[in-house]
Amino acid sequence: MSNQLIKFFNLTGLTWFVPIVKIAAGENPMLQARQLFLIMGVPIIAFAFFWVHGVFPPQRLIPVWVRSPDLLMSGMRRVV
């Protein structure tokens, strides 16, 4: 039964259920916890990192629209 569930979850793209099914079937819980972390934890951490970076951007960067007049003038000086 667990092989059928694992095959079903793999086919439907719900691979994060596979370690849970394997834990319920009695396989090594530490190995399955590691797999669950790799499947779910790493993407959640990456998403959280990019979300925090988007909400609280670094203050030392100057947006391009602030510097655009200077960039335009420096480009015009090179042409002339």
Residue 25 sits at the vertex; the CA angle it makes with 19 and 29, to the nearest 5 degrees, is 50
Q: Is the model's pTM score more than 0.85? A: no
40 HSE (CA, 13 A, CB side):
12
pLDDT for res 51: 92
d(CA 13, CA 17): 9
Q: What is the 3-state secondary structure (H, E, C) of 27-44?
A: CCHHHHHHHHHHHHHHHH
Find the helix packing angle between 2-12 and 18-25, rounded to 10°.
170
pLDDT for res 77: 64
pLDDT for res 27: 93
The string of pLDDT tens digits covering residues 27-73 is 999 999 999 999 999 999 999 999 998 888 777 666 665 666 666 66
